[in-house]
Amino acid sequence: MKKFLSVIAASIVVAVSAPSLLAQAGSFVDVNPDSRSMGMANSSIAVDPSAFAMWNNTSALVLSPKKFSAGASYTMWQPGASNNNVIAVAANGRLGKFVSLSAGVKYFSYSSFELMDDKGVSLGQYTPKEMTAGIGIGVRILPILSLSANVNYVLSDLGAPKKGNAVTTDYGATLDLKVVRIGVSANNIGSKLNYGGEKSYALPANLKVGVGTVQNFAKNQISVNLQGGMTFENKGIFASLGAEYMYNNLVAVRAGYHYGDKTKVTPSYASVGLGVRFIGIDINAFYLIATGSSSPMKNTLGASLSYAF
């Protein structure tokens, strides 16, 4: 038991170095691999659906005119603090007018560290890693209203005697009034992670509410998204405001600001992003600007490639 506790403590401290994430194992499940949304400070609940809607709001897919989309992304998450890497692939499609299906896999790897036993003897280098794999369904209830549900398998390997496993669900709703879109989602509802000891670790279940609008002026398009939310476990509060300007449906620039209590949720940061679109292909990139000198969010960046028709 002593060896188990020392391994778990070392793994979590090294792997999840941000103070806001120490309180819960499996916080990686809230890392959004959608580079477009991250360019708008992760204001994702009411944003136009994309290949990565699995991690935004699945319910928006069935209201979209697009029939199919698929994409892949890579993110350097908190490179100055812990140098983590996130790789994700996802795809979705509509079945007629009333149902959409989606699937996605997200792989999260941490920096390697030296694993020690309770006597201080080196057990070699170890690289913690975590993963989620999920499927989702969206259903159109009314011409302007849709609901969704995702089921996700979570695997967490932090070097403990056992790998942690959990099954979670996400629920979403979208109300599209054309001028404005309203989205709601409840995320990470399900079982806890257990690494072979007596204690289990709750995943960061949370509730998000978002409002977004898209305005077109000749060849110019402006999108603005605002969202807020809270975590159920520690009552952490967070909010995001993001905007996008797109010219002629070809080139986009984005910016946003995310507020978060660093002791409970992802710390505050500002964001910028760029995007290029042609013949159904989207290339997006984002960069996060830390609002404090000690923030782990400093220099986080990512890029994604997707295709839709």
The domains found in the chain, sorted by start residue, are 2-308 (2.40.160.60)
pLDDT tens digits for range 15-28: 333 333 323 457 89
| Global confidence as pTM | 0.88
Which long-range contacts link 117-124 to residues 24+ away (Cβ below 8 Å)?
117/3, 117/6, 118/2, 118/3, 118/6
- 273-300 in b/e burial notation, b at 16+ Cβ within 10 A? bbbebeeeebebbbbbebbeeebbbbeb
**158 pLDDT band (50/70/90 cuts)?**
confident
pLDDT tens digits for range 98-130: 999 999 999 999 888 777 777 777 777 788 899
pLDDT of residue 20: 31
pLDDT of residue 19: 30
Q: Which of 30, 34, 31, 40 is nearest to 214 (CA)?
A: 40
**C-alpha triplet 212, 90, 69: angle, nearest 5°:** 65
